[in-house]
Amino acid sequence: MSAQGQVVRACAKVNLVLRVGARRPDGYHELVTLIGRTDLADVLLLGPAERTHVDCPGLPGGDTLVTRALEGLCAAAGHAGGFHVHIDKRIPHGAGLGGGSADAAAALRAANALLPAPVTDAELARIGAEVGSDVPALLYDEATIARGRGDRVEVLGDLPRAHLAIAHPGRPLATRDVYARHAPSDRPLPDRIALPATLDELAALLENDLQAPAEALEPACRALREGMMGAGALAAMVSGSGSAVFGMFRTGQEAEHAAGMLPDAAWTTTATLGASSGG
């Protein structure tokens, strides 16, 4: 294994479609979600070590998802050593942007490439699924559809390029609390989601079954969404279970303007979505 470390970007996700079905026997809900990657990213410095240790300022005890992922990888590969990872967090915690899962997926890919006997992609996905429901889909830079509890992944390809304003109210939402407020629907989950060809098609596709319970738990989410629509967004929605909200715009200038007009936001940024955004 190379003694050289790697600098790796772990790109945030947004759920462009999130449909939630019935609760499964294992306690998870059946879901179908279309996931896009943005260029908002945590930055990881990863290298070999005698044992796995994750340093993440701002998260006491480091990032446990990354730790579990790398320990699972070493066990599966029969590797006696570990990895040291330093994470520069730029994705808010508890925001529905997949920061912890993106970190775990990026660490798995980078660490696997450093092993003398890397595991297969299928094994990497299995390890990721044991760590978190979003991790298998975030092993890919392209847009993906995840089904089941997130463990069945289909890679779609590149989305139309879009500019996003992303805002966070400053208070995280616990995924379990949002799901607990979710009112089940009789609507069947979609069998397929086609890759949109244009930005307008992408904006028209946005749908999130968890938006209503997230906004009920954190009213600032609704204020942020309405603020983005008022600033000219093609569409705006809570990402995942919240509490981050994103608005979709045609230009970066429009996204920056909207991000500066959200008094209910504790944190805002802009990002791009679509072709060449991930990685």
Enzyme catalytic residues:
13, 134
Are the C-beta atoms of 88 and 50 separated by less than 8 Å?
no
Cα–Cα distance, 42 to 92 (Å, whole number): 10
DSSP letter string, 108-120: HHHHHHHSSSPPP
Partners of 256 in beta bridges: none
Question: 143-148 and 245-249: which strand pairing?
Answer: unpaired
* Residue partners of 31: CB distance under 8 A and separation at least 6: 18, 19, 20, 21, 146, 147, 148, 149, 150, 189
Taken in order 186, 132, 195, 231, the sign of the CA dihedral is positive
